[in-house]
Amino acid sequence: MESIAERIESAIADAVSGLRVNIIDIEVSKYCGKTFLRITLDRPGGITIDNCADASEIIGQVIERENLITGSYVLEVMSPGVNRPLKKARDFEMSVGKIVKVKLVEPRGSRDTFRGEILSFDGNILSMNIDGEKMDFSIKEISKARLDPDLPW
């Protein structure tokens, strides 16, 4: 059975693709009787506040038209930020050449967290340069991954 987040993603995918943005993540949560819908978007070259506002307008219309959420809800459309999570194959593919931090499901040796540059990703194996050594990780080994750029401050 499809989750509410999956139903929302299916319903809005075509609409937001027209804005040339990619859906990074959809989170649905409840707090104090309200439903919160947080949608993270990105686009090549980065996403702007105006892109988020345009997407929010369209997403809200689709949710209302398709009656995807009953009752009142809060819609937040946002940028993934500089430490964006990598969740989908597309996220890893778009991050080749970038510095990432990965946390493994099970430790490898004495470590469960690795930081380095993505060398390649073939849909199943993530190859990274970690301290001058090439290491490969199966996507199934990774519990979390996020960009971890060296910032100038």
Domains and CATH numbers, the chain: 4-78 (3.30.300.70), 89-147 (2.30.30.180)
pLDDT, tens digit, 9 for 90 and up, residues 69-80: 988 899 999 998
Alpha-carbon distance of 17 to 55, in angstroms, equals: 10
Q: How many CB atoms lie within 10 A of CB 20?
A: 11
Mean pLDDT score of the chain, rounded to an integer?
A: 92
pLDDT, tens digit, 9 for 90 and up, residues 90-110: 889 989 999 999 999 999 999
Residue 60: C-alpha distances to residues 15, 21, 72, 136 (Å): 11, 16, 12, 41
Low-confidence ranges of the chain (pLDDT < 50): none
* pLDDT for the residue 153: 65
